[in-house]
Structure formats: structure tokens, C-alpha cells
Structure 1
Amino acid sequence: MFLRDIAHSRTGDKGNISNVSVIAFRPEDWPLLVNQVTAERVRAHFGTMVSGDVVRYELPQIGALNFVMHDALGGGVTRSLALDPHGKCLSSLILTMPIEKADT
């Protein structure tokens, strides 16, 4: 299955840093997010699009993870020649990450 099957996502940006949040649809899927959507996997999933560090923050009260991705926007909105300099498409891209379904 894919991350989009159990979560939705939002993005934000500041300079050359992108924030991507992943929010579980259901509280019972929170442990799956915590266990499988690591900073290392997110970094690997984005590949060369992110050339800096990826830091994960947990927000268990709302069932969300926030990833701060450094050097992810081609220099930032005022410097990037990308079609999506704000990185809004990154929320869709993270939801294509494959995850293992939890045993029931």
C-alpha cells in the first residue's frame, strides 16, 4: 500500500527549506506512520530533490509527523527556476511512498 492510503499531507516553505507534514486519517494508523515514515526513508524517497538534512518531528496529539527538509527548493522561491518553487507538489510526492500494511 501507499502512504496516501492512510494519511494526507500539507507543505510549507521558508527560503530553501520545505516542511512536509503527514497526518494520519485515523488514530490507529499513527503507530504505522511512526514506525515506517522515518527521516531516512523520506530522504531516500525524495532522492536528489533534497540535498540537505531531513529532520522529523512527531506530533502525536494530532497524529502527524513534520519533516523539515533542508536544501529542498532549488535555492528558494526567489532563486529557483523550478515550476513549483514553493514545493507544494512535495505533499503529493510523499504520499506515493510505499509502506507495509499493519497486521490485523
Structure 2
Amino acid sequence: PIPDGPRVTCPLVALACARSGDKGDDENIGVIARKPEYLALLRQQLTPKAVGQYFAHLVTGEVECFEVPGLNALNFLMHDALAGGGVASLRSDPLGKSFAQMLLDFPLLVPIAWAEEVGRRGMNEAAGAAM
């Protein structure tokens, strides 16, 4: 369960790591919670609608989210995200490899206890593990 009480804003990278890539003109981002207890908060705040709004400047299609059982992970599929994808795209990242890094800046409202825990572990460690 997510602890009750006050919350602070933390980037997604504090609670998860991620990896992304293309599926033709679609973009795929896998987000893995650093601890199983973080998954409920990710489900609650990292919704397809929120991710779609976050990437509205790049994604013109629907955003879907799928759970990855046993891995404490979410898999986002963003349609019409790469301006054609691969050799058809004139974007600087036609294969969508940078999307995960962008998503790791997504702001989450995190219980203070979790933010303090992440702070003790160190944001540099969390950021390094995400790469």
C-alpha cells in the first residue's frame, strides 16, 4: 500500500528505471519499479492519459499501458509517435531511444517517507541505475 500523509514531487527516476525503442511508427517504453511497493503509485499516476499529455508534442496517436506480471513493470505503447519511424522519419531520434530518458523526468507525487528513502540512497545512484 501507498503510505498516507504529505507528499512531495520527485522525478520518476527516483522510483523506476526505463528503456524505450521503436515498433515501426509506434514507441514502446518499459518502466520497471525499483521496489515492488512503488508499482501501485506508478499505476495510479503514470496513466496512459498522463503519459500521452506528457508526450503531446511528439505523439499524435493513442497511448496504451500494459502490466508486465512478475516484473513490477508497466509497458507503454504510443501509437503514431515517431513521424514515420526508422528511415521514414526526419526526427533526430527516429528509433525512439530517448523517450525513456524523457519519461524519467515525469513528476510524481511521492509520500515523504519514500522521498527520504530515495534521498538516503542518493539520486545519483538512482539516475545511474536508470541508464
TM-score tier by shorter-chain length is over 0.9
Distance 1:28 1:15 in 2: 33
- Say if 1:55 and 1:69, in contact at 8 Å, map to a contact too: yes
Tell me whether 1:56 sits opposite 2:65 in the alignment: yes
Q: Pairwise mapping of residues 1-104 of structure 1 onto structure 2 (< 5 A)?
A: 1-102=10-111, 104=113
CA offsets, 1:13-38, max 9 Å, x none? Answer: 12101101111111111111111100
Q: Would you identify which runs of 4 or more consecutive aligned residues in structure 1 move more than 4 Å?
A: none
In terms of mean alpha carbon deviation, does 37-46 or 74-83 score higher?
74-83
Alpha-carbon offset, residue 103 of structure 1:
5.8
| TM-score of the aligned structures, taking structure 2 as reference length | 0.76
Q: Which amino acid aligns with 1:21?
A: G
Distance 1:21 1:6 in 2: 13
Gaps of 5+ in 1: none
Q: How many aligned residue pairs are there?
A: 104
Task: Supply the RMSD in Å over aligned alpha carbons.
Answer: 1.1
Alpha-carbon offset, residue 48 of structure 1:
2.1
The structure with the larger Rg is 2
In terms of mean alpha carbon deviation, does 86-95 or 59-68 score higher?
59-68
Distance 1:46 1:14 in 2: 17
Aligned-residue identity in percent? 41
Gaps of 5+ in 2: 1-9, 114-131
